[in-house]
Amino acid sequence: MSDEKKKLTTASGRPYAENENSMTAGPRGPVLLQDVFLHEKMAHFNRERIPERVVHAKGSGAYGTFTVTHDITQFTKAKLFSEVGKETKVFLRFSTVGGEKGSADTERDPRGFALKFYTEDGNWDLVGNNTPIFFIKDPKKFPDFIHTQKRDPRTNCKSATMMWDFWSLNPESLHQIMFLFSDRGTPYSYRHMHGFGSHTFSLINSQHERVYVKFHFKTLQKIKNFTNAEAGRMKGMDADWAQRDLVESIDAGDFPKWAMKIQVMTEEQTRTFRWNPFDLTKVWPQGEFPLIDVGTLELNKIPNNFFADVEQAAFAPSHVVDGIGYSPDKMLQGRLLAYPDAHRYRLGANFEQLPVNRCPYATNNYQRDGQMRLDGNGGDAPNYFPNSFDDIEVDHSYKEPALQLDSLTADWYDRNGEHENDHYTQPGVLFRQVFTDEERTTQVNNLLASLTAVNGPKREVILNRQLCHFFRADPELGARIAEGLGIEIDASMFAHH
């Protein structure tokens, strides 16, 4: 080992002669244009920020391991599930949704749960949330929905009026609203919440048979939530509470773990299920589609550099691997397009080459050039297909079984049309049968804390419209919200019917 220190250099390798004083004409300046060290230092600094994610901008990430504990090869040939005991390296990024990159970790919001499995058949991204459902069921609604979750264009503040206007006009949101305004809308930390793939995906086995599937990750740290008041206080005390909690627990060797489970539906069952099995606003009741054990996810390493691995991480629901497929879920279909498109904008066309995103196994293709090409660009190998020189082939055995569709008629179908308009049964069950007395009261109070902030000339219209949805889910819920808002129930009913 030599004692020699490394020299400070420019990005091109020229050693600095001076790094604390600019070159000036005389001790009092002006500064000389030829101090290129100064230019480079300032110019690079000016370019440090990349666009933050349009949603899920505030997040935390860690590496870990997924280990298979139960055999599910009857359902899938995906290599990562091929045998009990098999381990796959993963990267998980947690996030809030609506806030900016510096916003508080304890906002009432869903939490992102984005998981990248580095498998030998390519990277599999399961880009889910801590909820099994979502606010909307058609991707065309996503930009409008998110606008209402972000800042008002004039006041530049978050607006309960925008949010409840949107939600009351889109009753399919009720189920997710019920989740969001329970204390699960303010998890204590990322370690103490479940994760869900949320969408319906498909699994394909070695016999070329397809089933449909939902993915669940149950926290082994147990669910723990903040109350509305605690979450509010924590925003002021430590905006980065969840980030700090994750780093401190992993650095202390207390590795958080989740049990991965699946629910399975046969193609036949999808045709007879009483709700649309591909509707993201619905769950598959666990009494009918029981959880099947699969494996354990453990997080055990905080990346050394947040920007390199967490900020530059690019997840995409389109990244599946052999044995795992998509489904007709409209939201999933929309997301197949949205994520790689977002990455090309946020990180550039070669985002897959960044270390956190790069497949550690083989990638071979004829994509060439583009900004920030870092991988040698294919060298002198042929850049077209087919050719007579290389040994890259298309393996048709990866083809999925053909998919029988329900209809050959293209149209703009009403997302909430006949057979698609039960927005109330599952939220009602959640309120009456899943929540305890205490949780029902918490829910009502959390809802009232937000609903009372609705203001402006449309206040009454918005509140009455939303009240109808609460009543239809559960009369007690409706009555308690109406009472809390000081709304005469009979009068509002007259206004609507």
What does the binding site for ligand HEM look like in residue numbers (CB under 6 A)?
53-56, 59, 93, 95, 112, 114, 127-129, 134, 139, 142, 198, 313-315, 331, 334-335, 338-339, 342-343, 346
CA dist., res. 246 & res. 346, Å (int):
26
Q: Which is nearer to ligand HEM, 317 or 325 (CB)?
A: 317
H or E element, residue 438: helix 437-451
CA dist., res. 36 & res. 22, Å (int):
10
Minimum distance from CB of 129 to ligand HEM (Å)? 4
Query: 């909430």: which residue's tokens?
Result: 416
Amino acid type, 496: H
What is the torsional sign of CA 401, 217, 115, 252? Answer: negative
Q: Which is nearer to ligand HEM, 346 or 358 (CB)?
A: 346
Q: Which is nearer to ligand HEM, 114 or 262 (CB)?
A: 114
Q: Which is nearer to ligand HEM, 123 or 198 (CB)?
A: 198
Minimum distance from CB of 95 to ligand HEM (Å)? 5
Are 315 and 91 contacting, i.e. CB atoms less than 8 angstroms apart?
Answer: no
Q: Which is nearer to ligand HEM, 37 or 196 (CB)?
A: 196
Are 312 and 242 contacting, i.e. CB atoms less than 8 angstroms apart?
Answer: no
Asked if 56 is an active-site residue, the reply is yes
Q: Torsion angle of alpha carbons 199, 200, 206, 208, nearest 10°?
A: -130
Nearest alpha carbon to residue 440 among 476, 467, 414: 476
3-class SS at 98?
Answer: coil
Candidates 21, 39, 70, 129; catalytic one: 129
Q: Which is nearer to ligand HEM, 114 or 260 (CB)?
A: 114
Minimum distance from CB of 151 to ligand HEM (Å)? 17
Roughly what angle, to the nearest 10 degrees, separates helices 160-169 and 142-149? 150
CA dist., res. 269 & res. 267, Å (int):
5
Minimum distance from CB of 144 to ligand HEM (Å)? 11
Residue 128 burial (CB < 10 Å; 0-12/13-18/19+)?
Answer: buried
CA dist., res. 302 & res. 305, Å (int):
9
DSSP structural state of residue 26: S
Are 213 and 264 contacting, i.e. CB atoms less than 8 angstroms apart?
Answer: yes
Nearest residue to ligand HEM by CB is 112
Minimum distance from CB of 370 to ligand HEM (Å)? 18
Q: Which is nearer to ligand HEM, 134 or 212 (CB)?
A: 134
H or E element, residue 114: strand 111-119
Minimum distance from CB of 110 to ligand HEM (Å)? 7
Minimum distance from CB of 59 to ligand HEM (Å)? 5
Task: Please give the C-alpha separations between residue 467 and each of 107, 202, 456, in angstroms, as whole numbers.
Answer: 24, 37, 17
CA within 13 Å, CB half, 146: 14
CA dist., res. 210 & res. 151, Å (int):
43
3-class SS at 195?
Answer: strand
Q: Which is nearer to ligand HEM, 95 or 243 (CB)?
A: 95
What is the torsional sign of CA 108, 109, 110, 113? Answer: negative
Are 302 and 62 contacting, i.e. CB atoms less than 8 angstroms apart?
Answer: yes
For the chain, the 3-state helix, strand and coil shares in percent, each to the nearest 5, are 35, 15, 50
Minimum distance from CB of 334 to ligand HEM (Å)? 4
Candidates 39, 44, 56, 225; catalytic one: 56
Catalytic residues: 56, 129
